[in-house]
Structure 1
Amino acid sequence: MTFKTLTTALVTATALTGAAFAESHSESGNPMVGGAAMMADMNIIENAVNSADHTTLVAAVKAADLVDTLSGEGPFTVFAPTNAAFDMISEESLNALLQPENKAQLQKILTCHVVAANAMSDAIAGMIADDGGTHPVPTVGGCTLQAKMDGNTITLTDENGREATVTIADVKQSNGVIHVIDRVLLPAQ
């Protein structure tokens, strides 16, 4: 199965389940993500599968065998790239990453988007200010991202100088928080 086929199947499943959560979403105070309600009492994976903007990320998490980890107790902060962020990578490269022989590389890339803490945007902004404008963010994958402020918006720079912007912050989860970003971050190459 190709990456595009897998993500198409996930979009269809998302469309069928997303509406069921929208009604109770108003009580959580969470922002909508990918047209779906994000429930604070659901874990990262349970919410991510409902976002039409994160089908590629969900497919990659499944291919990397990280579903159980990100469904676990946490706490985790996940910087979640959108489908558009993954579209900046060639389909050939994405399909190659899904191959079983590249699972370790895919796991490394994905865990470079995960921090072992529950870091809301105000806490991140405070750490950036305390550190004079740039705060190092060590990830579960062993990468160190550099967090900065661009006005009121948090940006993250990976070890290759690639910058991602947090487009939706503070999506509360039962096991942490998701911050939606507009670029895939990579370990040092």
Structure 2
Amino acid sequence: MKNVNIKSVVIALTLIATLSSCENDYQDEKPSIAAIAVANENFSTLEGAAIQGGVAGVLSNSNPNDPSGKYTVFAPTNDAFAKLGLVNSGSLGVLQNSFLTNTLLYHVSNGSLMANQIMAGGTSASALSINRRFISRGSDLYINGSKIILTDVAASNGTVHAIDKVMIATGVNIVDSAILLKDSKVFKSPELTFLVQAVISSGLAPTLSNPANNFTIYAPTDAAFKAAGFATIQDVANAPQAVLQQVLLNHAISGGKFTSEQTATTATTAGGGTLTYSPFLNGVFTVKSNGNTIPANMVIPDIQCSNGVVHIIDRVLLP
């Protein structure tokens, strides 16, 4: 989502300087994964997240769950956290600690996975036992929707790869994922209350929660529903079921895709409508439907659910 070439060079040079300093001080003894985050200003938010989430100690030591004693960490940079509005470690307070811990563990896997072992089309299990996908797009390699911008930073207890976007996985289906947000179990300021009501009132909850169904869902925020004319949650509840179904199905695409996997310029919705995508730019794109004059922007893209992928957007996609 940034100019990766320039940023990759900056991060690489800083990390090399950090590692060189550590090698001089400790006579070739590498720092731990946690120590790399502490020593490098590009990972200061990750450092704060690791402390708040209770995993800093884990990443300071050998991995007891792997014979090699190693971890692999796909480490979000400060800019990656900033895309979620988390501009420094102090802003992490908007997250529930349990969600933060699970998010961090989603970036960790057992063993030391080097860049030459990462294959496009392959998967890697996280410490949450939820697989991440490796995706090739042009000359870039992604893990889910996050671009890998630096590889093979060696630590005493494993390997670090830097990524440009925080990965999020809920571990539950699309409907339950929206309910987690509504009930403040993810972010302390939920934004999908109207959407949850729409899903319930439309009667589509069984379809969207069915593990046999796999969707890409564009999920409008509460502010998006208000801008579309639903002033209150009661307005959503009072809307005709057929209208809600038509609107919601215009936000659903068959097959769960991360932003990095979306290469077509248009897609047919579950309701038979058409969505048009802008060019892929810095990891995201805008989405426009036939009933919209202004396209929707992505607020939080690439949330992995058990039966698909959710992208939170800032406008309702009108049929």
What is the CA-CA distance between 1:49 and the residue it aligns to? 0.7
Provide the C-alpha distance between the structure 1 equivalents of 2:226 and 2:106, rounded to a whole number of angstroms: 31
What is the CA-CA distance between 1:165 and the residue it aligns to? 1.0
Question: After the TM superposition, which residues 4-153 of structure 1 pair with which residues of structure 2 at under 5 Å, given as runs?
Answer: 21-29=99-107, 39-51=169-181, 52-73=190-211, 74-91=213-230, 95=234, 98-99=237-238, 102-124=240-262, 126-127=263-264, 135-149=265-279, 151-152=281-282, 153=284
Q: Give the corresponding residue for 1:166.
A: 298
- Contact kept, 8 Å, 2:103 with 2:169, in 1: the verdict is yes
Q: Give the corresponding residue for 2:312.
A: 180
Tell me which protein shows more helix as a share of its residues: 1
What is the CA-CA distance between 1:59 and the residue it aligns to? 0.8
Change (3 A) 1:150 1:56: same
Unaligned runs of 5+ in 1: 1-17, 32-36, 128-134
Q: Percent identity?
A: 31
Provide the C-alpha distance between the structure 1 equivalents of 2:281 and 2:100, rounded to a whole number of angstroms: 31
Larger Rg: 2
- Once the two structures are superposed, what CA deviation does each residue of 1:138-165 show, in whole Å capped at 9, x if it has no partner? 0001110101137323111110234101
- Once the two structures are superposed, what CA deviation does each residue of 1:23-55 show, in whole Å capped at 9, x if it has no partner? 333223499xxxxx9544211111111211111
What is the CA-CA distance between 1:178 and the residue it aligns to? 0.3
Between the two proteins, the alignment pairs up a number of residues equal to: 156
What is the CA-CA distance between 1:96 and the residue it aligns to? 5.2
- TM-score, normalized by length of structure 1? 0.72
Unaligned runs of 5+ in 2: 1-95, 108-143, 146-166, 182-189
From 266, 282, 285, the counterpart of 1:154: 285
- Contact kept, 8 Å, 1:167 with 1:179, in 2: the verdict is yes
Q: Give the corresponding residue for 2:84.
A: none
What is the CA-CA distance between 1:75 and the residue it aligns to? 0.9
Q: Relative contact order (alpha carbons < 8 A, sep ≥ 6): 1 or 2 greater?
A: 1
